[in-house]
Each structure stands twice: as structure tokens, then as C-alpha cells.
Structure 1
């Protein structure tokens, strides 16, 4: 007869149902289900559940024996987590070899290795990978950051509970409160300063696990057993708040920070209300929730690699996402039935904890070797064509390489000067990264024409004087409040220091205006607001009496062209599959608004290079043998140099 596990002895069907809601919310968010803008907080639900269940088991063992079986604990964790994780890792690396370009395979392999070593969160942070950024959708192992956070929590939590739990119940409560409040204070501070640190690292997330542990202590468990209508009211209200958070929260909010309090406390209160049949437990016990709850870990593991690799193959349509979900359910059910359940219930492994520990070590080693081997193979198969694409899309402009593009948090303008010392004219370039992309070509023109080029550039900071409440940094995940100050200081320097002959303004226009060309969500502005903002900016410069030249924003493909070209070359597909229809890359409405502004300002004119970037119908990924786009919206340095003569002629005519 096989022994009954501790988890089975204290099984709560309502918690299983809560797991189902958590994982389905994450899947819905990643699969683009409309309105489920906050589905990613399902991860926070998991953190609270983990803190609760793990602490409950550990505290009961400490209370009963005064000590902890560390080998037993880590052996159970190894059996629970590692077999399915290895299966997904190997499957993803194998399929990724055929689907992704070699340079993408290298990145995938590095992420897989970090995940195998329980450090995916630290790796992503070091790569400056923002969870919500568009490029994050290209990493099949992005979701493993949360698994690494949990595994890091498991490393220190048993020893911590043993240390404080053996002293007294009062010391335990005080220690847990210190963890919760101290960690939340760090989380709050980092969210508004270094958001990625707050999101990825374990210490700023410890308050979520700690809150789960706090409600697993005796005083809260005693309260949970007491009958009363208040518990039912709290339970249903908490359930409603949790569900609403999936729809009310979005990735544009400063998260985790204060925002995370809502789903975290709602989850804690749901756990506290227990399994009262008149409470939310009645719903959570239903068979569909039990089905998905039992497979929640496998679903979480499988759903994201399927989405990433599947989107590369067939696109990200609603029908494709339905197919991805069906595949997720099938594969997670198979891995649950063939891996998770047999290994967790293995009598042979249960006899001696050291066997489970050894198995965990072996699985960790295999996953690490798989990642390293995948990287080695990708490096070996990288040919000259792949290297050329990567080289072209990896070049940065002269200004960027010279440290002239101010970062997202830089408050003061950086003044850089290019061109000969015996110049005849001075051109000032003012703008964001879409202005910066032209600096290599402009500097070459300046040398050729005997001009001086002065740059004032700041990432994600439009020249248009739009309301400060609308200048949002996707990288920082917060409003870029310093942008307006930077613009004012830059214009003041131009007025007082530079005495230019012309001011060239360039910016990511379409990326800031509501419509299909922006991913700023609620922070995008209307065309009318953009028009007024550009008018105010030009009007402020008009008294200088110099030429004001607005460079029309380049057509924007809004898909990673370099990745697409490398994949096409790797898979033998035509490069034309990476091109985009002209109508899908430009906003005529924005262009017309900017033309109206330019026509209303003295000495202002517009330069439009669209016809040199795209044909009448198509914006190619490669033109005249040169890769056009560095990423989803910036031109490559090589292509801007190809347009150098056309740009020089237009500037000369404007002057």
C-alpha cells in the first residue's frame, strides 16, 4: 500500500480551482483574449498560493516534530517541478531549431540554460528584457522567470520558518510581518524607479509569498474555521475583486507596486475563507476548474512556447490562438498523466528522499546541457547570410555610439557636435530615436557639405508638445515626466547657444498617435492633440527666424524585420514574406495633420522620404540589397546611408 502524501492529506479543492483561474487568466492574457488586460496577475495569485501551501506544510511539520526534513522537502519539490520542466525545455529547444533563426536560437538557448539553473528572472533582468515589451514575445522561455522566483523562494524559506517558527508563535508572526512590509516597501520603491527589478527579482516579490505564509499561521487558521456570514461575504467579495482585477489592471500601470495589492490580498482572503460550500468554493469545486487546476503547472509551462513558436509559423490570429490553446490542453494533459502524476506518486522515490534529490540533480544537469548544446549547434549553423543580416540589424547610429542619445531617465539634454571645424552652416537635429537613426547619414552629409551638425536626442521623447500625462515610457512602464523638461531645456540651448541655420525635427509620430501604429494603449494621443503639440513646438522655434524642417516619420512595419529575414533565410522562404503593404505602415491622417502645421508656420517645410523607402504599394524588407529595418520601426544604419544623397538634396533645397 502506497503512503498518502502530506499534500493529499490536506488537499483543498477550492485551492485547486483557484489555481485554474490563475493559469487561465495568464493564458488568456498571453493569447490576446479581448479585455483580459490584467491576466498576468495570475502569476501573483500563484505566488500567494505557494506561500500559503508550502508554509502550511512546513509549519505543521515544525509544530509536530520541532524540526524539518529538508531532504524530504526538496525531494518533493524536485518531483513536482522538474520532470515536466525538462520535457518542455527539450521540446522547445528542438522545435525552436527548425522554426527560429540561429541567432534567435542562441538567445533561446541562453534563456533555457538560465531557467534550468533557476535563474531565468536574473538573466532576463540582465538582458534588460521588459516583460511587456513587444520583443519579449520572441522569447519562448520568458514565462520561466516566475518559476525561478518560486524556486529561489523555496531555497531560503524552509530554513527561515524553522529558525523563527521554533521560538514562538508571536516571533513567527512578527517575522512574517517584517518580511511582508519590508519586501513590499522595496517593491513599491523599485516599481517607480527600476520597474524591472521589482517585477523580476525575488526579494521585491517576497511579500506575496509572505502574505500567503502569514494566513497559514495558527491565528488565521483558527479564524478560518469559525462559521459566520461575514466569512461568506468576504469570500464572495474577494472572488469578485480578483476576477475584476483581470480586466481592470493592464500592463501600462506601474506594476507590481500598489497595483499588485488588489489581486494579492483578494487571493489571501479567498484562501482564508476556506472551503465553505456556500462561498466561492462552490464554484471552484466544479469539475472544469478541478481539471485545469490539476494541470495548471503543465499548462503554464506549455502555453507560452506554443504561442511563441506557433505565432512564428502561422501568425497570431484569433483562430491560431484557439488552436494554440487546444494544443496546450492536450500536451499539458499528456505530461500530467505520463510525467507529473507517475513521478509524484512513485513509491520507489518516496521510500528515500535522496533518490528524489538525485533525480532532481540529474534533470537539472540534463536541462543545462540541453541549453548549452542548443547554443553550440546554433553557433555552428550560423552561415555568412545569417551573419550579414545580424550585422546589419545590430549597427547603431553614430550618435548612439557616441553617447549622444539621452536615455529614458536622463533629465538634461546632451549636446553633440559633428562635422568640420571650418563649417559654413549649422544644422540642429532635435528629436527621439527616430531622429537618432539618421545621424550617421547626416554626419556624412555634414562632412561632405562643410556643415556643422548639432544633436539633441532623447529616447521616447517626442518633439511635439503633447500633455505630460500622455508621454509614456514603454521601457520604464510609467509616465516620462522628465520629457517636457528635457524638451524645454533643449530648445533653450538651441536659442541661446547654437545660432543654427536650420533645425531638423524628427520623431516617432505614428507611434504616439492612436491607431494601428502604436502600442501605447491609453497613453496614445489623438491626431488633433498631436497636431496642436507639433504646432506649439514649431511656434516656439519660429521667432529664431531659421529654417524649420520636419522630417516625415519613416513607414513602420511593426514586426521585427531582422528576425523575419533571418528566419526566412534559415527556412528557405522568400524575403518578400517579410515585406509589408504600404497602407499598413503609414498613417495618412498623421501626415496630413503635420502638413497642416508646417504650412501654418513661417520658414517651415517638410521632407518626405517615403518614396525612397517604399514603393507605391509595398515597403520591402530589403531594398537594393540593403536590409531596410533594424527592428520593428527603426531603419538600419546601412539603409539611411543608402538614402544619404536623397536626404542631402532635400536638405540643400530646404536651405
Structure 2
């Protein structure tokens, strides 16, 4: 959260308190505080506040002098932002060297370099990074995307305000309205098409800054000075709506888009209703909020690297997160007292703006060099063992490599055929990525047995006839109705185009059901709903009169096993630290529900390979010298090939 000079921006304690709430909400979200599913909108709150304070500063300078001191503006930002950012970057890269595996260090170094150049948002977009996906929690510089958005916005904003305000106040207002409505239109459109663009890029976020800027104009400032009880009512209602948004919004909603209007307009109205002591200002002025505001920028910088690296070292328990927060407060206080405040108040830097600009350039160069150096070192220390782990977890199935796994935005089923031309039986594989992971082994079996294998696969679309979500999912990047449509089309193709001897169904069962194993959060379904959904799917296939074989979902460790193994090898720890107890990797409830369904359907069978993946007590990360898991829930290609003979025997018996 980037600071603004109190004097220059005509200090309002309520705005300072609001900024504290914004940064604390983000920290609460990142630290997994229960129910704070929308804490990430604290960034949007700060965008509005920033637009208000910075635009207020610029407009008052223009009104007083008729011009802008561009060097002074950018010099002030450089000395306020870059010293703390450099400290966090160097500290994170240094600690990351000892904590993370070399391949993780390389990714961290790339993100650090992008962050140093204030291009983290563009880098994350190019990497197709989903801010809400579990794998994003491995990037210590993920949070710097918002700082990049802000600095990109302020590259043109001062010149824009100077240009339009010189013409007239009316032109200024019209120009700001054009920015707000134009940017929001782009944001709305992209949210439902290319939502990562709407989330990460500055132009679709400009409306949030622009709305804050509107409130900083003279007509709105004049209105703020007028007394009235209605302002108090609006203020308290806006405050309540803002707090509620931290709990009501979640990462599965179409964000930013229309959803972002809730915290953004609540913040704008809070700014507009002023600092009446009878309003929310009475709370926001309290000393705890002022304390956290003074350190808000440092808190924002430090909290996420501490969480990422700390979780790798000690885990992500509630107690650990409390410790991380305490460390964040301590480090941010030290940063504020010993680094930020002395440099901001430096008389030598204040004498000439060019000194601050030069210092900023030097710090940016140092941070960039640190990122490049970190990458180079990680490249150098990558040995054969590290390379082998990465290679094993980077290999994708035959179907994926052949373009047969439909992506999140592919609405129609893709029919692929594998196996010999002279076949004796036809097996259809229907399912999601947990079906796809078996295609290399199944193709080998088909070649060996003289079978034809036909696949219908789509990522994150289970065979069970359920509704994953009522809204567009940012995590899955599609409407849930597309899964139902895909399933119907795939089954229609099987009925009309294929003449199978058996249909093999595989899916990420426990990941779709409420409980400790789900990755769908509040939009997961109950065991009962899953049971009914699987029953409907099998019942629809039953009239074909062929064997219906349900492959029990594999145990899932729910942590990135490849990363864990690479870290263990790097730090000299036993690979067993990456194994998981069997009871923590599977849902017996889901399995029992699926067994009930299978027993109620004619010609239905179930195959359970659990005993070949895990022992009676433990699911190892490496078995018979082979890495078991590609990520947090998929098996590696090499390990599925290790199970090929067992799978072939079970399939033959089921047929």
C-alpha cells in the first residue's frame, strides 16, 4: 500500500484509517483468516484512495501554480516507494535461496525482476497466472502486481490532469467521467471474456483511480463541506457495505467487473461523506488504525513473502500465520522507522528532485540486477537430481500432448482415437484431467491388448451430473453450464458415433465435494449431490448395454509434491517429508457413495488402484524410485506407466 504525504494531500485521519483497513483485509485474505474470502478487494479500496489523494495533490498544485513539477512528483514517489521495495526484494531473494528449490528460485527471480521494473502485472498475465489458484501461493512476489498497476497508471495521470484542467473545470469533469466509464466498460467486457486482462492490467483498473480523482475535484469537495444528516447515514451504510464485501465476495465470482463496484463505490462514498466525527471517521481515527496505516506500505510489501517462505519452512497452520503476522508488523515497523521515514524526510534529497530521481534509478537497477543474479545462481546450482525431479513432474500425458484434453474455454468435446487399427475391443475414456492422466498408460495397454481407445476429456469437468457453480468462475475461467453442455455433447457422441465395449469414467471426485479435499471452496457440492450426479450420469449411459467402469480417484496429497521433493533434495531432507498419511489424502465418504451408485447400475464395475499407489498407512511421494505426483493431485506419467500392468489386469477382469 503506497503512502502519500500527509501535508501535501491535506491529511484526513479517516482516510488513513480506511487505508489501514484495506491493507489488513488483504493480509487477512492471504493468511487464510476464516470467512474473509473477499479480503483481496482491499487492493481496490486502495486504488480509489490513491486516486483521490494523488489527484487532490496534483489538482491543488495546478490550481495554485498553473503547472506541475513533474520531477518533484516522481522524485517524491521514488524516495517513498523504492527503498522499502528494494529491501524486501533483496531479503526475499536471499532467504529464498536457502528455502526454495533451484527451479523455484528461477521463477522467483523472474518475478522479482518484473516487480523491480514495475511490470509484475504484465509478467503474471503473460504467465497465465491465476491470482486465486493454489499454485499462485508459491510466488513471493505475486502481490506486487497491484503496485505495478498503480505506477503504470501514474506514468500518464499527472500529464493528463494538467492537460484537461488547464482548459476548464467542466472539461476536467467530463474527461474524468470518460475515463471512469470507458475504463469500466473495458473492465466489464474483459471480465467475462479475458478476465485475467481485466484483473491485472492498468487500463481496466483505471476507473477505480478515476472515481477517486472525481471526488478530489472542486464540486465534490464543496459538497463535502456542507452539513447534513444524510451524509452520516450514507457514510455508515457505505462503511457497513465495505466491511460486508470482505466476507461476501470470493475469488469464484466474476471479478473485477460488476462485483468490484461494491467495494469501489463504498470507498468512494466514504471519501465523499467526509470526516465528520459522528460518522465512520470516529472509528477510523482510532490509534490502532493510524498505527497500521503509517506502516501500510511496508506491511503490504512484507506480509506475502513472509507467508510464502514461512509456509515452506513451518507449514500454514493458524498458529504459523499468527507468527507471520507478528513478523510482518515487526519488520514493517523497522522498515518504517529506519528506512522509509529517514529517506522521506531527507533534507539532502528534498533540495533537488533530480537527486531522488537518480536514487530511484539506482535502486531500480540494483533490484533488477539482484533478480538477474538470483536467476543465474539458481541456474548454476541446478544438479542432475533437481533436473530429474523437474523433468518427471513436467511430463504431460499422451492425450494432453496430442491436444485431446479440452481446455477451460473449449466448449465442445474433442474426440481422439488411440491404439491399433486392427482392434478387438473399443474402450471409451470419459472424464476430466484425472482421466487424462491415465491416457499414456491406457494407450500402452490398448496397443498391447489390441484395443481401440477413444477419449472425451475436459479439464475441471466431472462426469457426475452436478452444478459446480452458479457464477462465472475466475479459478476455472468458464460458466458451470458449459460443463453440463460438454457432458451432454460427449455422451451424445458416444451414443451416436462410437460402438464401445466399455466406458471408463474417471474424475477428480473428492475435489468437487465439500470437505477437506475440495478445491472449489464454497461452491463444492455435498456427498449426496455427488452421489445423485454420478447416478444420473451412469443411468444415462446404462441403455447402451456396455460395461460401465468407474475408476476410483487417486489419493491426492493436496500439496505440490514436485516442489516439496526438489526442496527436500536441495536442503538435504529425506523425501519422506513429502509423503502424506493415507487418511489425509482420500475421502471414504465419496468412495462409499460411488460404490453405492455402481452397485445399483446394471453392468457397472469399479476399479480401485489405491493399494498400488499407497501403502496401508502412507501415500509416498516416491515409490519404486518413481515420483508419484506431478502436482498437488495428478499422478506423473511415469508412475501411471508403473501401474500399467495392474490397470490392464483390472480392466480385463471388468470386461
> Does the CA-based 8 Å contact 1:472-1:520 persist in structure 2?
no
Q: CA deviation at 1:479?
A: 3.3
In terms of mean alpha carbon deviation, does 234-243 or 166-175 score higher? Answer: 234-243
Q: Deviations over 1:229-256 (max 9, x none)?
A: 2222222221121111111212221111
Q: CA deviation at 1:477?
A: 5.1
2:522 paired with 1:484: no
Q: Deviations over 1:117-168 (max 9, x none)?
A: 1110111111111111000111100000000000101101111111111111
> Does the CA-based 8 Å contact 2:404-2:455 persist in structure 1?
yes
Q: Deviations over 1:45-83 (max 9, x none)?
A: 110011001111111111122211111110011011111
> Does the CA-based 8 Å contact 2:29-2:36 persist in structure 1?
yes
The verdict on how the C-alpha distance between 1:381 and 1:391 changes in structure 2, with shifts beyond 3 A counting, is: same
Q: CA deviation at 1:8?
A: 4.8
Q: CA deviation at 1:472?
A: 7.3
> Does the CA-based 8 Å contact 1:22-1:46 persist in structure 2?
yes
Q: CA deviation at 1:475?
A: 2.9
> Does the CA-based 8 Å contact 1:461-1:471 persist in structure 2?
no
Find the residue that maps to 1:96 and give its secondary structure. helix
Q: Deviations over 1:429-488 (max 9, x none)?
A: 000000000000001111111111110000000101113646975634553221111111
CA distance in 1, matches of 2:471, 2:635: 23
CA distance in 1, matches of 2:469, 2:650: 35
> Does the CA-based 8 Å contact 1:548-1:605 persist in structure 2?
yes
In terms of mean alpha carbon deviation, does 389-398 or 65-74 score higher? Answer: 65-74
> Does the CA-based 8 Å contact 1:471-1:483 persist in structure 2?
no
Find the residue that maps to 2:37 and give its secondary structure. coil
Find the residue that maps to 1:199 and give its secondary structure. helix
1:318 corresponds to which residue?
318
CA distance in 2, matches of 1:20, 1:598: 54
1:85-234 correspondence runs (5 A): 85-234=85-234
The verdict on how the C-alpha distance between 1:74 and 1:38 changes in structure 2, with shifts beyond 3 A counting, is: same
> Does the CA-based 8 Å contact 1:2-1:347 persist in structure 2?
no
CA distance in 2, matches of 1:245, 1:590: 33
CA distance in 1, matches of 2:5, 2:376: 42
CA distance in 2, matches of 1:2, 1:486: 45
The verdict on how the C-alpha distance between 1:9 and 1:488 changes in structure 2, with shifts beyond 3 A counting, is: closer
CA distance in 1, matches of 2:586, 2:613: 12
CA distance in 2, matches of 1:86, 1:554: 44
> Does the CA-based 8 Å contact 2:468-2:512 persist in structure 1?
no
> Does the CA-based 8 Å contact 1:252-1:477 persist in structure 2?
no
CA distance in 2, matches of 1:300, 1:330: 13
CA distance in 2, matches of 1:471, 1:514: 18
> Does the CA-based 8 Å contact 1:472-1:523 persist in structure 2?
no
> Does the CA-based 8 Å contact 2:251-2:474 persist in structure 1?
no
Find the residue that maps to 2:142 and give its secondary structure. coil
CA distance in 2, matches of 1:123, 1:55: 28
Q: Deviations over 1:375-432 (max 9, x none)?
A: 0000000011100000000000000000000011111110111111111111110000
Q: CA deviation at 1:596?
A: 1.0
> Does the CA-based 8 Å contact 2:548-2:604 persist in structure 1?
yes
> Does the CA-based 8 Å contact 2:254-2:472 persist in structure 1?
no
> Does the CA-based 8 Å contact 1:460-1:473 persist in structure 2?
no
User: Structure 1 stretches of 5 or more lacking a match?
Assistant: none
CA distance in 2, matches of 1:411, 1:480: 11
> Does the CA-based 8 Å contact 1:397-1:439 persist in structure 2?
yes
CA distance in 2, matches of 1:462, 1:283: 48
The verdict on how the C-alpha distance between 1:194 and 1:5 changes in structure 2, with shifts beyond 3 A counting, is: closer
The verdict on how the C-alpha distance between 1:518 and 1:354 changes in structure 2, with shifts beyond 3 A counting, is: same
Q: Deviations over 1:299-318 (max 9, x none)?
A: 00000000000011011111
CA distance in 2, matches of 1:628, 1:244: 43
> Does the CA-based 8 Å contact 1:431-1:505 persist in structure 2?
yes
The verdict on how the C-alpha distance between 1:3 and 1:53 changes in structure 2, with shifts beyond 3 A counting, is: closer
Q: CA deviation at 1:612?
A: 0.2
CA distance in 1, matches of 2:563, 2:651: 33
CA distance in 2, matches of 1:327, 1:315: 15
> Does the CA-based 8 Å contact 1:463-1:537 persist in structure 2?
yes
Tell me the number of residue pairs that the alignment of Structure 1 and Structure 2 aligns: 655
The verdict on how the C-alpha distance between 1:618 and 1:6 changes in structure 2, with shifts beyond 3 A counting, is: closer
Q: Deviations over 1:584-631 (max 9, x none)?
A: 111111111111111111111011000000000000000000000000
In terms of mean alpha carbon deviation, does 241-250 or 141-150 score higher? Answer: 241-250
Q: CA deviation at 1:11?
A: 1.7
**C-alpha root-mean-square deviation of aligned residues, in Å?**
2.1
Q: Deviations over 1:163-186 (max 9, x none)?
A: 111111111111111111111111
> Does the CA-based 8 Å contact 2:307-2:321 persist in structure 1?
yes
The verdict on how the C-alpha distance between 1:468 and 1:556 changes in structure 2, with shifts beyond 3 A counting, is: closer
Q: CA deviation at 1:522?
A: 2.1
CA distance in 1, matches of 2:55, 2:591: 59
Q: CA deviation at 1:2?
A: 23
CA distance in 2, matches of 1:570, 1:492: 50
> Does the CA-based 8 Å contact 1:191-1:256 persist in structure 2?
yes
> Does the CA-based 8 Å contact 1:93-1:374 persist in structure 2?
yes
Q: Deviations over 1:526-558 (max 9, x none)?
A: 111111111111111111111111100000110
1:599 corresponds to which residue?
599
The verdict on how the C-alpha distance between 1:84 and 1:153 changes in structure 2, with shifts beyond 3 A counting, is: same
Length-normalised TM-score, structure 1: 0.98
CA distance in 2, matches of 1:180, 1:471: 25
Q: CA deviation at 1:107?
A: 0.5
Length-normalised TM-score, structure 2: 0.98
Runs of 4+ in 1 over 4 A off after TM superposition: 1-6, 468-474
